[in-house]
Structure 1
Amino acid sequence: MSAQAMTTTPELLRTTLRVDSWSTGAFGVVMLAGATWFDGLLGLPVSWSVALGIAMLGGAAVLALIAGYERIPARSAGAVVVVNTLSCVGLVVLACTDVVGLTGLGRAFMVVGAVVVAVFGEFEFVGLRRILGAAR
């Protein structure tokens, strides 16, 4: 693989990473601020909301860092796609099992979250493919 295949700057990928970062960070703040409220409304325990909120803030920082590189490393973009895929699967598992005693609204909330993560993951995947295709 050439050096250019390892790093490049297609705007679709950069823009998607930035929007993913902003939305992940904003939602992390919502998860932290609404932790008590989500417990009753969604059935999502406070400890889960806090843990998810902190993880989302960390993820947002990583996404912003990757988006800020002059040339986005293909491996970093690939890692983002993998993490988004795993997050999507995790949200669906939470929605479809009794791991956490979610309410009906809580299950719908998780499914909507999974769809949002899947959409970001798809755009990032397309951006990654463009990186790899441009290097050929």
Structure 2
Amino acid sequence: MDGPDNLLETQAGRSALRVTTTAYTKWINAHFKAAGEEELTDLFNDLRDGSKLMTLIEILTGTKLVREKGKTRNHHMINITTVIDFLQSKEKIDLVGITSSGIADGNQTLTLGLIWKLILRYQVLIIT
């Protein structure tokens, strides 16, 4: 049935996205604040160049990662690829389907998926 049901699904989806984005941003910012780092203001845009993502991984793992300092998309992709490769090879986190281009493009689904994997690994599993 088109019409109101689809509208409600869309509104519900938008609401869920907003709640999830807020929760994940708060989780990251709690780690940044504890480490004396500048907090995120926009989850999807702030992670696109890979620099803040690298900072988060460094905080969570205690491992220093090598950064590309340029401002081009290629530099951003290298930073994000470094993070993804590190998480898969050293931390043994399964990131199938999460791509550096998706994160660099600000893809909400992939960005939220990556953050969820980090929460599972560094928050939920620590508690259990």
The TM-score normalised by the length of structure 2 is 0.30
The structure with the largest helix share of the pair is 1
The TM-score normalised by the length of structure 1 is 0.29
